[in-house]
Amino acid sequence: MPNTTASISRRKFAKLLGAGAACAVASPGIARTGSLFSGAETRPAAGFTNAANVVRLSANENPYGPSPMAIKAMTESFSLSCRYPDDHAEVLIDTLAKINGVSRDQILIADGSGEILKLCAAAFTGPMSTTTNRAVELAPRSRGGAMPAFVPGRGKMIVADPTFEAILNHARVNMADVVKVPLNASFGHDVSKMLSAASEGLIYICNPNNPTASITPKNEMRELLRKAPRETTVLVDEAYHHYADSADYESVIPLIKDHSNLIVARTFSKIFGMAGLRLGYCVAQPQTIQRLRPHQTWDSVNIMAMVAAIASLNDADHVTNGQRLNSETKKFALGELEAMGFKSIPSQANFIMIDLKRPARPMLDGLRQRNVQVGRLFPALPNHMRVTIGKKPEMEAFLSAFRQVTGTV
């Protein structure tokens, strides 16, 4: 894509991206940047010193970075920064619809999947005293088509404990009640207890679950969707989908056609290594997507994230390489920990939850003093510690600090 081009047609853009992707593969110089194969560390830009000697295993990021094709596409798109990203959004939505086997009006892209969580809380939770179900007309957008009428959210939020907590805050800000249901003995969502708590509102299922890295088996997910009341929306957060390889796991995207109350959230922050770029999306039936739109900022996704995402989706190797590296390094770390007598919850993600058999706080402090950052304390599992799977040298640094703190040196 020529740098001087600041306005392009949708078809031309898609074609150029294809060419750029092929060029990235052919050019070893470009392929090296941030590559899975380079072993290069991600370094802070000038003026940002924080990461210099800190081993960061705290945020379930992908240490191998974005696809080389994504980096090339972004580099070649800087000059497009002066344009609103309409054409790019069209191409990305088309691509995501094709990949997921749905129509374009079943996809909503967002500023990270975190924004999808916020939109769901806004649209489907709120105080039960909200009785207005009169649709409020909204101004049409100058670009991007008509805005659907807005209906205020109502109902409670039902979540597992522990789970990814951002959505709890969004529900609370929306003045909704939050019901926490402890995970079951296998660290799956307790589907029958969540169902018995359900009425109007939203059930949030994180599968695989953060922070436990555990899955809720497919038969239980199907049962949940079959039995959930129609006035309850079910949001399944599949942020770690690409890391799950258990025969008991399945994505519920193919079940959307049968469930108008199902929304599935996905992110480019994990396997695609784009956490800093901020891009996520959800898939649902068209009328459910329309309930979310009025809550969203217009043009909330930036153009760099979009070009990077489209290029990443064209990189056939990126996902498989990321899966392989994660699983090899996870196996190594788990083996070393087991040799020291520490077991973990079976992990279907790019992080592990280690059973320390004692309160985790002193370990978290000891690791921090040794410049190793791991997950925060999770009150529901006070003896467990969440550690992101980094590159092998990072895991070696973690294990060395862990040995020092436990006195197993």
**Which residues would be at the binding site for ligand PLP (CB under 6 A)?**
60, 112-114, 164, 206, 210, 237, 239, 267, 269, 275, 280
Nearest-approach distance from CB 279 to ligand PLP, in angstroms: 7
Nearest-approach distance from CB 238 to ligand PLP, in angstroms: 8
Nearer to ligand PLP, 150 or 348 (CB): 348
- Helix (H) or strand (E) segment spanning residue 71: helix 68-75
CA dihedral (252, 257, 260, 263) positive or negative: positive
Distance CA 403, CA 405 (A): 6
Nearest CA to 10 out of 92, 109, 87, 93 is that of 87
User: Do residues 205 and 216 make contact, with C-beta atoms less than 8 angstroms apart?
Assistant: yes
Nearest-approach distance from CB 149 to ligand PLP, in angstroms: 27
User: Do residues 21 and 73 make contact, with C-beta atoms less than 8 angstroms apart?
Assistant: yes
Nearest-approach distance from CB 154 to ligand PLP, in angstroms: 24
Nearest CA to 221 out of 257, 251, 245 is that of 251
Residue burial 77-100, b: 16+ Cβ < 10 Å; e: rest: beebeeeebebbbbbbbebbbeeb
Nearest-approach distance from CB 5 to ligand PLP, in angstroms: 29
Nearest CA to 86 out of 35, 145, 36 is that of 145
Nearer to ligand PLP, 154 or 318 (CB): 318
Distance CA 402, CA 409 (A): 9
What is the pairing mode between strands 372-373 and 55-56? parallel
Nearer to ligand PLP, 14 or 207 (CB): 207
**Residue whose C-beta lies closest to ligand PLP:** 112
Nearest CA to 108 out of 245, 252, 297 is that of 297
Nearest-approach distance from CB 22 to ligand PLP, in angstroms: 28
Q: Order of strands, edge to edge, in the sheet holding 384-388?
A: 344-345, 351-355, 384-388
DSSP code, position 140 = P
Nearer to ligand PLP, 20 or 217 (CB): 217
Distance CA 34, CA 65 (A): 6
Nearest-approach distance from CB 123 to ligand PLP, in angstroms: 17
Nearest-approach distance from CB 112 to ligand PLP, in angstroms: 3
Nearer to ligand PLP, 60 or 125 (CB): 60
Structural Rg of the chain based on CA atoms: 22
Nearer to ligand PLP, 14 or 310 (CB): 310
Nearest-approach distance from CB 233 to ligand PLP, in angstroms: 17
Nearer to ligand PLP, 76 or 238 (CB): 238
Query: Is 89 in a helix, a strand, or coil?
Result: helix
Nearer to ligand PLP, 112 or 390 (CB): 112
Nearer to ligand PLP, 16 or 109 (CB): 109
Give 56's strand partners.
373
- Helix (H) or strand (E) segment spanning residue 388: strand 384-388
Nearer to ligand PLP, 30 or 348 (CB): 348
Nearest-approach distance from CB 275 to ligand PLP, in angstroms: 5
Write the Ramachandran bin of 111: left for phi over 0, alpha for psi from -120 to 50, otherwise beta. Answer: beta
User: Do residues 395 and 329 make contact, with C-beta atoms less than 8 angstroms apart?
Assistant: yes
